[in-house]
Chain A
Amino acid sequence: MNFFRQSLTIAAKDLRSEFRTKETLNATISFSIVILLLFSFAFEPTEEEARVLSGGLLWLVFAFAGVLILNRGFARDLPNDCLDALIASPISGPALFFGKTIANFTLLLAVEFICVPVFGIFYDVPWTLQFWPIVTVTVLASWGLCVVGTAFSAMTVNLRLRELMLPMLVYPLMMPSMLAAIKLTGVLVMGQPVSGDLFQWLKLLIGFDVIYTALALALVDIILVG
């Protein structure tokens, strides 16, 4: 079985397990919508203000939602020593990690797929003017969040303060990618194309994904096995 088939098997297992219980997905979607509501109560933005704030607002929601999903990434396999069995199984560490990243990425995209239209409705923002560029930025930044987050989820899975440590470690590392995503999303929701200085942010987003995917794949055996 090659690397990608092994990864897809792990991803399918995680997604199947999640869709049977829906515990993370339901909690994350509800939590994201609650944050969107809280923002509207806290700032009462006009349509124009909502457009200006959109990048920051959406990515704060996605970052919070992402950590909820990532916290469960490896913790899901802790009961009955399933994680130890997975590590001992004839599947490589990178494939296990990649599969879990794909599963987390799919779940995060599902949450985003619901949150963005809800944001558009609540704040009366026509966000589809630059639809495909927004999708591209969302996919790139979400992959970065999931790759770093899944690696750190593996690192912190056995810690007592797992739920606290994961966001504390992941958010500072995610900042370059989050800043790029916030800048780009803000401009794209305003209906403007990516041009000029914004390409620098797009390059940063792509560079971040490439560097951290490579680093995570290279180091995951050390994290999981030792």
Chain B
Amino acid sequence: MIMREKLLYLLSLVAGVLIVWNLYGIFVTVPDEKLQGAVYRIMFFHIPAAVTAGVACGFALAGSVLYLVTRNLTYDALAASVTEVGVTFGFVNLITGMIWARPIWGVWWAWDARLTSMLISLLAYTGYLMLRTAIDDPTTRARICAVMSIFTFPGVIITWKSIEWWRTQHPGPVFQARGGGGFAPEMLQILMLNMLALILFATVLTIIRLRQVETQRELEGLRREAHAI
């Protein structure tokens, strides 16, 4: 087994063990919240999923810029893979948020700035993924999609800052670093551990997808070569 393969299995193992460990902490160790009861526990997935999606968008931006600078198609493959994973985690964030909102707000969805901007960003990144399927030539696809990814990124900033810029139904910042009230230490510890677990899990998914995208590009190249012959 080559080194890269071993690293991938190790990362998967660490992410898996960490998620199981955190699940025990979330359902058994931490107490119910004073006002919300048990349902607040979904936050231990809702917030880490949002952070993971945000980090993924950052990597997609970096991959796109690096592609435009170096014209190395691996960076384009990285941007594509990490966007797919980021969009998945973004939808996890939205769906867990809706499940939380139903008992707490009494509605599944509210058109406030945070929810709306998150949905819009996800739609924009879904557009990026659809644009990839509409362009056949790999270098044109990489170039146009890199530009699209750069255009889409300001939406992520708007989503991130929306709870500070507008009065939203969505809770304001909770981390102390962003001026929020902070968490009880045992809750913060589990939250951070689960954030790490989901980021590791997203990394594993991105690496697997990256290899698939690169293999797909190689196959497309070989097919074109065969047609030329």
A residues sitting closer than 8 Å to B (CB atoms) are 148, 151-152, 155-156, 158-161, 165, 168-169, 172-173, 175-176, 179, 197, 200, 204, 211-212, 215, 219, 222-223, 226
CB <8 Å contact, A169 and B148: yes
CB within 8 Å for A165 and B134 given contacts A222-B147, A223-B147: yes
Name the one of B68, B117, B135, B147 contacting A159, with C-beta atoms under 8 angstroms: B135
CB of B162 to closest CB in A, whole Å: 10
CB within 8 Å for A215 and B150 given contacts A169-B127, A172-B124: yes
Known pairs A165-B130, A200-B166. 10 more at Cβ < 8 A? A148-B151, A151-B151, A155-B148, A165-B134, A176-B117, A176-B158, A200-B165, A215-B151, A219-B151, A223-B147
B131 an interface residue at 8 Å Cβ cutoff? yes
CB <8 Å contact, A168 and B130: yes
CB of A93 to closest CB in B, whole Å: 12
CB of A194 to closest CB in B, whole Å: 16
B residues sitting closer than 8 Å to A (CB atoms) are 68, 116-117, 120-121, 123-124, 127, 130-131, 134-135, 139-140, 143-144, 146-148, 150-152, 154-155, 158, 165-167
- Complex CA–CA separation, A226 to B124 (angstroms): 23
- Complex CA–CA separation, A215 to B65 (angstroms): 12
CB <8 Å contact, B147 and A219: yes
Q: Whose C-beta in chain B lies nearest to the C-beta of A155? A: B144
CB <8 Å contact, A155 and B147: yes
CB within 8 Å for A211 and B154 given contacts A160-B134, A165-B134: yes
CB <8 Å contact, B151 and A176: no
- Complex CA–CA separation, A200 to B168 (angstroms): 14
CB within 8 Å for A173 and B144 given contacts A165-B131, A168-B127: no
For A160, list chain B residues within 8 Å (CB): 134
For A168, list chain B residues within 8 Å (CB): 127, 130
CB <8 Å contact, A176 and B147: no
For A200, list chain B residues within 8 Å (CB): 165-166
For B158, list chain A residues within 8 Å (CB): 176
CB <8 Å contact, B152 and A173: yes
Q: Whose C-beta in chain A lies nearest to the C-beta of B146? A: A222
CB <8 Å contact, B152 and A223: no
CB of A151 to closest CB in B, whole Å: 7
CB <8 Å contact, B120 and A172: yes
CB of B75 to closest CB in A, whole Å: 14
CB of A179 to closest CB in B, whole Å: 7
CB <8 Å contact, B152 and A159: no
- Complex CA–CA separation, A215 to B152 (angstroms): 11
- Complex CA–CA separation, A198 to B135 (angstroms): 41
- Complex CA–CA separation, A156 to B123 (angstroms): 18
CB of B121 to closest CB in A, whole Å: 8
CB <8 Å contact, A179 and B116: yes
A–B complex contacts, Cβ < 8 Å, 30 sampled: A151-B147, A151-B151, A152-B151, A155-B131, A155-B144, A155-B148, A156-B131, A158-B140, A159-B135, A161-B134, A165-B134, A168-B127, A168-B130, A172-B120, A172-B121, A172-B123, A173-B124, A173-B151, A173-B155, A175-B120, A176-B158, A200-B165, A204-B165, A211-B154, A212-B151, A219-B150, A219-B151, A222-B147, A223-B143, A226-B140
- Complex CA–CA separation, A223 to B68 (angstroms): 11
- Complex CA–CA separation, A215 to B166 (angstroms): 25
For B165, list chain A residues within 8 Å (CB): 200, 204
CB within 8 Å for A159 and B143 given contacts A173-B151, A176-B155: no
- Complex CA–CA separation, A165 to B148 (angstroms): 12
CB of A146 to closest CB in B, whole Å: 14
CB of A165 to closest CB in B, whole Å: 6
- Complex CA–CA separation, A197 to B168 (angstroms): 13
- Complex CA–CA separation, A212 to B151 (angstroms): 8
